[in-house]
Amino acid sequence: MLASIIASGLAVGAVYALIGITYNTMFATSRVMSFTAGQLGMLGGVFGSLFTLRLGLPILPALVLTLACCALIGVVTEIVAVRPVLKSLDQHLYVLTTLAVALLIQHMTAMEWSTEPQPFPRLLDLGSGIWDEKYWLPVAVCILTILGLEYLYRRTLVGRAFVAIAEDNFAARALGLPERNLRIASYALAGAIGALAGFAGGQLLLAFFANGPLLNFYGFIPVALGGLGNNRGAVIGGFLLGLFQQAANFLVGGIFSSVAVFTLFIIVLLAAPQGMFGAQAARRV
Amino acid sequence: MTITRRALALGGTSLAAGAAFSTHLATPALAQNEPIRIGWLAALTGPSSAPGIGFNRGVLFAAEAINAAGGVKGRRVEIITRDTQGDPTKAVNATQEMISQLRVHAIWGPTNSGESLAVTAIMARAKMPNIHPCVVDTLIDERRYPNAFRLTPSNTQWDDAVRSYCLTRVNAKKVAVIGDTTGYGVSAVNASVAAFQRDKAEVVYKANIDATQPDMTPDMLRARNAGAEAIVFWSVSTGLIARLLNTRANMNWDVPFVGHPAMSSGEVGSLVERPANWEKVYAIGYKSCSYDASGNLPPRTAELVRRLAGKVNLQDSLLWWVSSAIDAVELIAKAVEASNSTAKEAIIEHWNGLKAYPGYYGTYTYSPTQHNGYPTEEVVMSAANSAKNGAFALAPGY
Amino acid sequence: MDATTGTAPPRAAAAARLAGPLRPLWPFLLLLAIGLAMPLTGNEYWGLITTRMAIYWVLVAGLNLIVGYAGQLAIGYVALLAIGAYTTSVLAAGNVLPPLPAFAALGVAGLAGAVFGVVVGLPALRLRTFYFAMTTLGFATIVTQITLAWQDVTGGGIGIAGPMLPAPFDTTWGFLYFCLGFAAICTWLTANIARSRFGRALVAVRDAEVAAEASGIHKPKLLVLVFILAGALAAMAGGLFATLQTYITPDAFTFDLSLLFFIAVLIGGRGSILGPLLGTAILTVLPEIAAPLAAWSTFLYAALLLVIVLAMPGGIAALIDPRNRRNLPENRVIGPQPAALDALLGRREVPAPLTLRGIVLAFGGVRAIDGVDLEVTPGQVHGLIGPNGSGKTTTLNVISGYYRPEAGSMAIGPAPLPAGKPQGRAGLRIARTFQTPRLIGEASVLENVMIGGTTDGRTGFAEALLALPRQRQEEREFEARARLALEAVGLAGLAEARADRLQHSELRFMEIARALMLRPAFLLLDEPAAGLSTEEIRRLGALIRGISRHGTGVLLVEHHADLIFDICDQVTVLNLGKVLAAGTPAEIRVHKEVVSAYLGA
């Protein structure tokens, strides 16, 4: 029983961590926390199911198409909800615009896809029991994603440009970095990462429109725990959250487990607003 | 000021209702040719809309059939639909609108327990004849709500059917009772556990599981370790059902699932990993909508299915949704016909005198002190995976 | 409302009165009259919708102070509606205690709402915007789950009957009148707060948090007061909601409802009362007359939110605000009035000088200030110059408490000046301006200036809530003082204009007026001449001299060497965080190192 709690805890934790990374990727280049992060995860599952089961595509093309669709939605989000409000970042209008876009996405999905959870196919058909692919696949994808991002940020020119923008927007612009294009690219990347989360976790979460707000919240907790913009912190936070949540499900039951998670989240945030590995707030004057 | 609204009903349903803002005219005696206005509080969109869509097909079919046959003593039946989306607040608004502005003669619905609880007192205040398919026991209270009648079984009747099936036909001495974390799930599980305990059965495991929980293994392991011989299930969440069934298969456990009709929903069939996972699942069904051992429906239902053929799609709906809605419209029409009046009191009085009225979905009997009119013996268990034209095969043991 | 009471300030008799949020009053009266006339239709359906509108407005009126005024994005406020609804219903039904009368239960619900309003709001005191929005959503979930789980008390999923109010409020029309009356009172109460120094402080916290701190506004204390009020109103709205619904179950408290409240404020427009009131009315009625769109209602809310934020961020309020249309005079000049300065500052006791000794402050290993000594003498202008990055503004920020130095001491005379604590500076009569003007664009110039006097407010929140005479008297004094300050800097003619319509140079003078509101002992000016014309700089110099001659010690950070040498009594030159030279302008002008390093002569 412990093994199954750990397996499912790590699996959902990996999905949460990936959504956390989605938040971070968008935040890095725009300083914007977007409510669309969870919706991208939800769409990963819905598009995956749409392309494989409804349209009958093989897994690989379906995955590529899913990533492309979500990347496109990421870019649209940047154009519609982020770019227009960047000028007045301190007014926090992005909270409202991204919330609006997230609701539009969710409601469209409910109306055009289904309000009932829809099946998601087995991808590799490997493993059973606690070694079933639905448990280890999200974990593997999460690890690959974080390794890929590390490689991108450290070894490639584009990645270093991302880092430069994230650390000092003005200086990066002064250096002549194409800030706007990099921001669009990072939103596309975030869309793809969110889609990966939904695709890898599809067998666990199913293709269900209501996964959006859920992932949005549970994906945000790793960010809050790990510190804004800190991907490694998000991964650790995600796995901790997954394990805590599954253990709470088991120990106190379905009704109180969400209360336990929310309460813990609020208490931790109040105790350490910067998260476990976060930096101090920037200067204001 | 004229306010026109057109309900969004599938298939271009509702006959547009225009109503004058401040007319005080509409008294029932006004015109014998005035249409019979039936308010239909439907949850046609939003999360629990599948039954609403099924009911709606029955409502439209019945109204068309009556009108095609010349109406009720020359009076047309007019269906006025409002989509509540299952939201109590929208249902309250729509109910008041039907009472005060649209001046309907009777109301069918709403179809979900939360909205029904919210509007029952409002309808009672207006003495509005109301017939609805919600199972929550407290919705029927002949003294406080003399206007409200239940078309379907109550939750207690459902519960009795499930419990008696578990205890007498499955012969389970130890049961696990599982529901979701919604309002319905929590209260249904509590009621079910209490009833099993009253019958001296042992409830070895009780759980409310969050429908979004991705893995059910711990819960199922606990139920098995506790020695459960049947799992009694109360939830409308198809995702939760499918996950439980898949987990059961992965554990190689052949415990039967007995409980909520949602377990027989076609959605479950698409969500289970293997069709075999849907075996040994027994969902609440109705004698009128069940195939016997030789695969035949009861004659009256068979006749209805013939009438519905080509007009009403039963593939993605359940027969009982359609047939109960037909019964509801006909009950209202018959009351007007028999009492020759659309007065509220007349309709209620007629219903109160119904003895073994033969509907398609059930045989109803109401009296001033009993508004739960559906006979318990017509509630049966069906094999959840046996759907054909919206009806099911009886579960083993009948 | 009482916006017409009181006498016109002596020096601005011709100017319009300070416009309160209930000005003009007729739209409110019209809405109320429509509501009161509802029974004439005889249609209980519209009675129900109007009642619902009034109840929602009770909640939104409070939420408006949080979202619209203080700018805190509380999305999950349906949690408080649920708490109020359940508290009232449970107490009236007598599930736990002997049944209470409905009104008593409603009162207890208000108290519960006040407590939980603070609990829900607390994270706002520590967390960033998005985080706070998330925590309010978290609370909404927790409340729903608890109402489900606590079946003995709340009825769990089966729910509980709402309370019945006693006669004559037990009929549709009686209840409508009760709710309308209650809503009218709530409108009045929240408008009282909005037009008091608390309301101005809320807006300042939203739009110019740093300036708010410098004006002595203590954000946590202020927000807690507003959370108490909004929580109490929301919970009482919940009690009435339960009565209206007749029966409540957890699924009545949907996220859609929460969204409706939140968006009502935003489409109404921030910093307005009428806007959100109209927003609430529109969002309540719209689904009723657009029934075909029922399935798309959330979609429409979301689309509306997006359009509002992108296309008309001011919301309905901006459309109906006359201040947007009235043209400001062209070719206006800023003409400071020394006489007004006399009236404002008068002759005061000369305070002890402000001294800095050996201040050291490093940012990540770089010493921004490295042992600075400085003395600002009352009645004198002290210039602080130096190349970019030499530590001038940083020194100012250390004095105003934004930075905590690592070493060194500050004192006013013998009394040490505590490091940090920017909100405490206003109380010590230390005022300042900023390199980039910090203003509340949507508020009038007059209101912007009045912010500067917040710390002198003596009347409490409750007095403001009820607009008691002492509080109204204090408001009149604030207003008169603000008009004097505006006259002193030469902006009297623009008092009623929206601040964001002013030119850059005018904003610089407005900031000085805001600082003068405090009748400061010490005034810290951060590059006030930047972006000003030669003529304006000359007037600024005269104004600064004038201020110092009334006993204020002025610390002037400036790049314009001419201005510095014209008006300063003392000059300190910084370079790389160290004092390069200090003395009279004449001494500095010939200081060898200064000339070579900075003046570049």
Judged by CB atoms closer than 8 Å, whether chains meet at B190 and C245 is answered as: no
pLDDT in tens, C502-546: 999 999 999 999 999 999 999 999 999 999 999 999 999 999 999
Alpha-carbon distance of C190 to C180, in angstroms, equals 15
Confidence of residue C291 (pLDDT cuts 50, 70, 90): low
**pLDDT (average), residues B255-272:** 93
Which chain B residues are within 8 Å of C294, Cβ to Cβ?
A: 7-8, 45, 83, 85, 90
A5, A11, A253 member nearest B207 (Cβ): A253
Question: Would you call C7 helix, strand, or coil by DSSP?
Answer: coil
* Candidates B97, B113, B144, B155, partner chain C, best to mutate (most C CBs within 10 A): B97
* CB count in 10 Å sphere of residue C363: 11
Residues forming a β-bridge with B285: B380
Judged by CB atoms closer than 8 Å, whether chains meet at B214 and A4 is answered as: no
Min Cα–Cα distance to chain C from A130, Å:
30
Judged by CB atoms closer than 8 Å, whether chains meet at C40 and B8 is answered as: no
Min Cα–Cα distance to chain B from A268, Å:
23
Alpha-carbon distance of B115 to B130, in angstroms, equals 14
B46, B210, B271 member nearest A257 (Cβ): B210
* The predicted structure's pLDDT at residue A116: 87
Judged by CB atoms closer than 8 Å, whether chains meet at B182 and C148 is answered as: yes
For chain A, which domains are there? 2-271 (1.10.3470)
Judged by CB atoms closer than 8 Å, whether chains meet at B6 and C291 is answered as: yes
HEC profile of C550-561: CCCEEEEECCCH
The pair of three-digit structure tokens given for residue A82, joined into one six-digit string: 């982020």
**pLDDT (average), residues B89-108:** 95
Judged by CB atoms closer than 8 Å, whether chains meet at C158 and B22 is answered as: no
Min Cα–Cα distance to chain A from B48, Å:
8
- The fold of C26-291+306-315 is ABC transporter involved in vitamin B12 uptake, BtuC (1.10.3470)
ipTM of the complex: 0.89
For B47, the closest chain C residue by CA position comes to C295
pLDDT in tens, A156-203: 888 888 888 888 777 787 788 888 899 999 999 999 999 999 999 999
pLDDT at position B315 over 90? no
* The predicted structure's pLDDT at residue B6: 33
The pair of three-digit structure tokens given for residue B20, joined into one six-digit string: 């004058």
pLDDT at position C185 over 60? yes
Confidence of residue B317 (pLDDT cuts 50, 70, 90): confident
Which chain B residues are within 8 Å of A210, Cβ to Cβ?
A: 47, 212
Which chain B residues are within 8 Å of C283, Cβ to Cβ?
A: none
State in words which class domain C338-599 has. alpha beta
HEC profile of A63-81: HHHHHHHHHHHHHHHHHHH
pLDDT at position A263 over 90? no
C123, C134, C302 member nearest A104 (Cβ): C302
Judged by CB atoms closer than 8 Å, whether chains meet at B89 and C245 is answered as: yes
The pTM of the full predicted model, rounded to 2 decimals, is 0.90
Question: Would you call B102 helix, strand, or coil by DSSP?
Answer: coil
pLDDT at position C145 over 80? yes
pLDDT in tens, C479-499: 999 999 999 999 999 998 889
Q: Which helix (H) or strand (E) holds C474?
A: helix C469-489
Which chain B residues are within 8 Å of A248, Cβ to Cβ?
A: none
pLDDT in tens, A203-228: 999 999 999 999 999 999 999 888 88
For A266, the closest chain C residue by CA position comes to C135
* The predicted structure's pLDDT at residue B22: 37
Which chain A residues are within 8 Å of B206, Cβ to Cβ?
A: none
For A258, the closest chain B residue by CA position comes to B210
Judged by CB atoms closer than 8 Å, whether chains meet at B182 and C157 is answered as: yes
Q: To which residue do tokens 């002549």 refer?
A: A176
Tell me which DSSP letter residue B385 carries: T
* The predicted structure's pLDDT at residue C567: 94
For chains B and C, count residue pairs whose Cβ atoms are closer than 8 Å. Answer: 130
* The predicted structure's pLDDT at residue B17: 34
Q: To which residue do tokens 């406020």 refer?
A: C77
Min Cα–Cα distance to chain B from A183, Å:
33
Name the residue ranges covered by the structural domains of chain C.
Answer: 26-291+306-315, 338-599
The pair of three-digit structure tokens given for residue C62, joined into one six-digit string: 């409070």
Phi and psi angles of residue C599, each rounded to the nearest 5 degrees, phi first? -70, -25
* Interacting residues of A29 by C-beta distance below 8 A, sequence separation 6+: A162, A165, A166, A179, A182, A183, A186, A187
HEC profile of C106-129: HHHHHHHHHHHHHHHHHHHHHCCH
Percent pLDDT > 70 in chain C is: 95
Phi and psi angles of residue C468, each rounded to the nearest 5 degrees, phi first? -70, 160
* Candidates B53, B112, B213, B215, partner chain A, best to mutate (most A CBs within 10 A): B215
* Candidates B213, B224, B278, partner chain A, best to mutate (most A CBs within 10 A): B213
pLDDT in tens, A19-71: 999 999 999 988 899 999 999 999 999 999 999 999 999 999 999 999 999 99
Which chain A residues are within 8 Å of C133, Cβ to Cβ?
A: 95, 99
For chain B, which domains are there? 2-155+306-375 (3.40.50.2300), 157-292+380-393 (3.40.50.2300)
Report how far apart, in Å, the C-alpha atoms of C437 and of each of A87, A108, C210 are.
Answer: 17, 43, 11
* Interacting residues of C37 by C-beta distance below 8 A, sequence separation 6+: none
Q: Which helix (H) or strand (E) holds A197?
A: helix A179-200
Q: To which residue do tokens 């047939």 refer?
A: B323
* Candidates A34, A77, A94, A99, partner chain C, best to mutate (most C CBs within 10 A): A99
* Of C41, C60, C36, nearest in space to C241 by CA: C60
Confidence of residue A2 (pLDDT cuts 50, 70, 90): confident
Percent pLDDT > 70 in chain A is: 96
Q: What is the DSSP annotation of C537-590? A: HHHHHHHHHHHHHTT-EEEEE-S-HHHHHHH-SEEEEEETTEEEEEE-HHHHHT
Question: Would you call B79 helix, strand, or coil by DSSP?
Answer: strand
pLDDT in tens, A118-165: 999 999 888 888 888 999 999 999 999 999 999 999 888 888 888 888
